[in-house]
Amino acid sequence: MNNIDKEKQNLIEHIKTQQSVLLCASQLSKQIESSEIYKIIQNILTKTLEVDTFSLHICDSDQHLKLAYSHSLTEEQKLFFEKNDFFLKALSSSGITIYTKGSNFQEFGSELGLEGEEEIFSPEVAITLRNAKNVIGILCVHSFRNKKQVKDSDIQFFSMLSSQLAPSLESAELHKVKMTNLETKLLKEEAKNLKVVNDDLEKANTKLNDFVAIVAHDLRNPLGAISGYVSILSHIHKTKENPDKKEERIIQQLGTLCELSLTLVKDILEIGALGSGKLEINKSIVNLGEIIDESIENVKFFAQKKSLNLAFQGPKDISINVDKVRIIQVLINLLSNAIKFTPKEGKIDLIVELVNQGVQIEVRDNGTGIHKEILKTLFDKEFTTSTKGTDGERGTGFGLPLCQDLIKAHESEIFVETSENKGSRFFFQLKN
């Protein structure tokens, strides 16, 4: 090839380089997202310069070079480059804009006391990206396809790429900071608005709880009076020589409804008090046996009425730190539910087992079990359900949610396992 042909070839390559630079500049100027800039760099390097592998290292706020993007590097290579970053640090402080392997190592290597490139990791080509004051990053080309040799036109392209890439990356970082600040501002405003809404809801909830408590409290007295009058009527009715059966059933029904209403009022008051923090949990060291005996004594009559076998298993002489009144309340409720949903001549067990740092208390029955749809919201105050027992017994639907709250106040939780038509087991743990 004569000199004229060489000049033509060089001119063609120069024009191609200029076209690539213009295309690169045009694409980079339209982007404000770092991820899109990385894609443009990859596209230009791999298609225009036949680059096989490269990595882009960006300075963080402490001026440490961190791997921001790479193409075709293995995880092992990425880890190696991050740990062996001596070359990157040396290049960033050298003042060199473009480094090519085997050509300008001596420009900064001798100052660092290095005799040759084999002593350190170095890429085939490295481009320093600078703003007006500092190095903001380094682009490293580690290999080319087909072992391509770096030409003067490639160096010229890398130089132009450096001048275009640095401001684009800076703009992207500035955009990222602005977006982060905007998101932070919006989140703060949203949090402020949510706090206002939450405060309003809490005030409304407090007012509603207070109103419900007042109504329930005012209902308790007249209901108590009605219950007393029903007891008097029942006593008078029994003293008659020939008491009317129909009247007896009506009086019994009135008595049942009064008891149910009083229980409902009591549960509402206690749930409201517990939710608002007004119901105190007074813990003390008590004997578990006393709790067990009193709980069984309170439900024994109802178990006998249905010919149920109510039995206790486990140790009793154990000291635990609990609110005795509240734990008895929970056990009475669980035992009453077991009695309610166990058919006549069934079996109910109250079981105590020693566990790590405490005891596990379980109420087990061989009754009807619980339907899986009801099980989902069994302890939820928002979805109270009252199901009739095997003898038509009624409930308020607030008992189990209240029990769960009382046990949670003891830093524990009630769990349930059930199988329809086979029975259920409710259990929880208490610390010594």
- Lowest-confidence pick of 101-115, 247-261, 267-281, 338-352: 101-115
Task: Return the closest-CA partner of residue 390 out of 338, 350, 347, 327.
Answer: 338
- Contact yes or no for 317/367 (Cβ under 8 A): no
Residue 308: is its pLDDT beyond 90?
yes
In terms of domains, do 20 and 165 share one?
yes
Highest-confidence segment of 11-15, 21-25, 270-274, 358-362 = 358-362
β-partners of residue 233 are none
Report which DSSP code applies to 119. G
Domain boundary among 175, 193, 209: 175
Residue 4: is its pLDDT beyond 80?
no
The SS3 of residue 58 is strand
Residue 80 in domain = yes
Sheet holding 98-100, edge to edge: 65-71, 51-59, 135-144, 125-130, 98-100
pLDDT of residue 106: 56
Mean pLDDT of 400-412: 88
| Range(s) of the domain holding residue 291 | 281-431
- Lowest-confidence pick of 40-49, 273-282, 283-292, 370-379: 273-282
Burial class (CB in 10 A: 0-12, 13-18, 19+), 101: middle
CA 208, CA 22: separation in Å to the nearest integer? Answer: 70
Residue 34 in domain = yes
Percent of the chain at pLDDT above 90?
Answer: 19
| pLDDT confidence band for 361 (50 / 70 / 90) | very high
Structure-model confidence comparison of residues 198 and 311, the more confident one: 311
Burial class (CB in 10 A: 0-12, 13-18, 19+), 340: buried
Structure-model confidence comparison of residues 280 and 2, the more confident one: 280
pLDDT of residue 116: 54
Please give the mean pLDDT across all residues of the chain: 80
CA 310, CA 300: separation in Å to the nearest integer? Answer: 8
Residue 242 in domain = no
pLDDT of residue 28: 62
What tokens does 237 get? Answer: 């009715």
Residue 354 in domain = yes
pLDDT of residue 360: 95
How many domains, in total, are found in the chain?
A: 2
Which H helix or E strand runs over 266?
A: helix 245-275
Structure-model confidence comparison of residues 311 and 255, the more confident one: 311
Domain boundary among 133, 151, 175: 175
291-305 per-position pLDDT tens digit:
999 889 888 888 888
Residue 143 in domain = yes
Residue 205 in domain = no
In terms of domains, do 166 and 295 share one?
no
In terms of domains, do 23 and 167 share one?
yes
Mean pLDDT of 393-411: 80
In this structure, the strands spanning 415-419 and 358-365 are: unpaired
What CATH number did the domain enclosing 25 receive? 3.30.450.40
What tokens does 371 get? Answer: 């339907």
Residue 128 in domain = yes
Task: Return the closest-CA partner of residue 427 out of 409, 407, 411.
Answer: 407
| pLDDT confidence band for 326 (50 / 70 / 90) | confident
Residue 328: is its pLDDT beyond 80?
yes
pLDDT of residue 39: 87
What tokens does 66 get? Answer: 């961190």
β-partners of residue 129 are 137
The number of residues making up the chain comes to 432
Contacts of 152 (CB under 8 A, 6+ apart): none
pLDDT of residue 107: 57
The SS3 of residue 136 is strand
What CATH number did the domain enclosing 301 receive? 3.30.565.10
In terms of domains, do 158 and 285 share one?
no
- The terminus-to-terminus CA distance of the chain in angstroms comes to 97
Structure-model confidence comparison of residues 239 and 293, the more confident one: 293
Structure-model confidence comparison of residues 412 and 63, the more confident one: 412
Task: Return the closest-CA partner of residue 142 out of 173, 195, 100, 178.
Answer: 100
Task: Return the closest-CA partner of residue 341 out of 371, 313, 362, 312.
Answer: 371
Task: Return the closest-CA partner of residue 182 out of 194, 192, 174, 193.
Answer: 174
pLDDT of residue 346: 92
User: Which amino acid is residue 196, in one-letter code?
Assistant: V
Domain boundary among 120, 150, 175: 175
pLDDT of residue 322: 93
| pLDDT confidence band for 413 (50 / 70 / 90) | very high
Which H helix or E strand runs over 66?
A: strand 65-71
Q: Tell me the whole-structure pTM to 2 decimals.
A: 0.48
pLDDT of residue 108: 56
In terms of domains, do 171 and 300 share one?
no
Q: Describe the crossing of helices 152-239 and 3-29 by its angle, rounded to 10 degrees.
A: 20
Residue 301 in domain = yes
CA 153, CA 11: separation in Å to the nearest integer? Answer: 10
CA 228, CA 208: separation in Å to the nearest integer? Answer: 30
pLDDT of residue 104: 57
